[in-house]
Amino acid sequence: MSINKGLLKWRCKRGMRELDYILMPYFDSHIDELNDESLQNLKEILDLPDPDLHYLLVTENIQIPEQFEKIILDIRAQAGKSLK
């Protein structure tokens, strides 16, 4: 199953501006590096409602679902770089 990267980019643009600032730098820096499994996991992460996604991305010391852990941690790390 092929994941449409253009659609994923569009879905990174959210209703919460804060999520745009977190997700778009990650997408722009990492999308070409992701394998099919990671692209599918990103798609599932982007299926979350904005408040749930925001909580998952900015709240530390929470249990991250195992299949999403690498991407969530990478998104957080990229967001930290983008803010500097």
Q: Would you kindly state where each structural domain of the chain is located, as residue ranges?
A: 5-82
Cβ atoms of 57 and 22 within 8 Å: the answer is: yes
CA-to-CA distance for 44 and 36, rounded, in angstroms? Answer: 12
Query: Given a cut of 80, is residue 17 above it in pLDDT?
Result: yes
If you average pLDDT over residues 45-50, what whole number do you get? 94
Judged against a pLDDT cut of 90, whether residue 83 lies above it is answered with no
Fold adopted by 5-82: DNA polymerase; domain 1 (1.10.150)
60 Cβ contact list (under 8 Å, min separation 6): none
